[in-house]
Amino acid sequence: MTSLIEIKDYTWRYLYTNQPALNNINLTLEEGLFLGVIGPNGSGKTTLAYSINGLIPGQYHGIKEGTVNVAGKEVEEYDKGALQQQVGVVFSDPEAQFTAMTVEDELVFGMENLGMSLAEIRERLEWVVSLTDLQPLLLKPPYEISGGQKQRVALAAVLAMTPKVMILDEPTSMLDPISRKRVFDVLAKLKKEQNNTIIVIEHSLENLIPLADRMAFMLNGELVLEDETRAFFSQIAMLMEKGIFPPDAMQFFHQLTLNQVYSGALPLTVEEATQSLRANLAQMAGGAK
């Protein structure tokens, strides 16, 4: 694998602000990896996303130090629009990105702007519609569908342009648990079938953790921790102290560890937790006999 994204000694300060929004960030991401980014509001997660797809420094005024390199080129070296074909961003408020009167037009809009042939547009539309289950909604206005459907349309519209890197900024913030799961199901399919590099910014960790190869924790503009997912959560005490609350099952096993009745890895899912708990109690029973 080659590094698709390389960020070196990167600091960004928005104009007229004293504190840098991002401070001395170093991050390397291999192609095909799924990175989960967590951190409190205002910690710099969205600024990082904008820095990777060139909205920063292109559309914002500020002072930049260090380098952000995507697919072998610094973001400033790309022709206008070329970087955005490589890196797609799905915004947390899907309505912010809608422009068309029907879902179908919405999905086609980006591809038309890239100057694709009609045949190719048709082919990709079919692919993206089946991937995100949007067939029944194609003729509806995007503002008349539910929040979960809107977030799937926003995702599909970016996906249709087949960017190498997809960045999703709180893609499920407004959704009920089932709709949330469906968005993550689409992401799981992408990861499995498309080898997309995916970066997801999320507060809700339960759905994110099973998909994430690596996790990053941002705080006050700094990248505090970045590691392979299981190793990342071995720092659970520090994360909790800094206001991150891992899923219940993981917290439960952290308590068992503190009580010195468990010493294994922390489970990432309920299934893992169930197995570990059964094994642990069986061992207790065995040890007592």
| Closer residue to other proteins in complex, CB, 85/251 | 251
Site map 10..39 versus other proteins, x via CB under 8 A? -----------------------------x
Give residue for tokens 């003729």: 139
Residues 158-217 contacting other proteins, CB under 8 A: 170, 173-180, 203, 206
| Closer residue to other proteins in complex, CB, 125/155 | 155
Kindly list the distances between the CA atom of residue 261 and the CA atoms of 181, 240, 254, 281, in Å, as whole numbers in the listed order: 33, 20, 10, 10
Minimum CB–partner distance for residue 120 and other proteins (Å):
34
Instruction: Specify whether the CB–CB gap between 26 and 10 falls below 8 A.
Output: yes
Q: How many residues at the interface with other proteins, by CB under 8 A?
A: 39
Q: Is 243 among the residues that bind other proteins (CB under 8 A)? A: yes
Please pick, from the candidates 11, 162, 235, 251, the single residue that binds other proteins as defined by CB under 8 A. 251
> Which range of residues in 5-13, 118-126, 227-235, 255-263 is near other proteins by CB under 8 A?
255-263
Q: Is 44 among the residues that bind other proteins (CB under 8 A)? A: no
Q: Is 82 among the residues that bind other proteins (CB under 8 A)? A: no
Minimum CB–partner distance for residue 279 and other proteins (Å):
11
Minimum CB–partner distance for residue 197 and other proteins (Å):
25
The rounded distance, in Å, linking the Cα atoms of 64 and 56 is 9
Give the interface with other proteins as residue ranges (CB under 8 A).
39-41, 92, 146-148, 170, 173-180, 203, 206, 243-245, 247-249, 251-252, 255-256, 259, 261, 270, 273-274, 277-278, 281, 284-285, 288
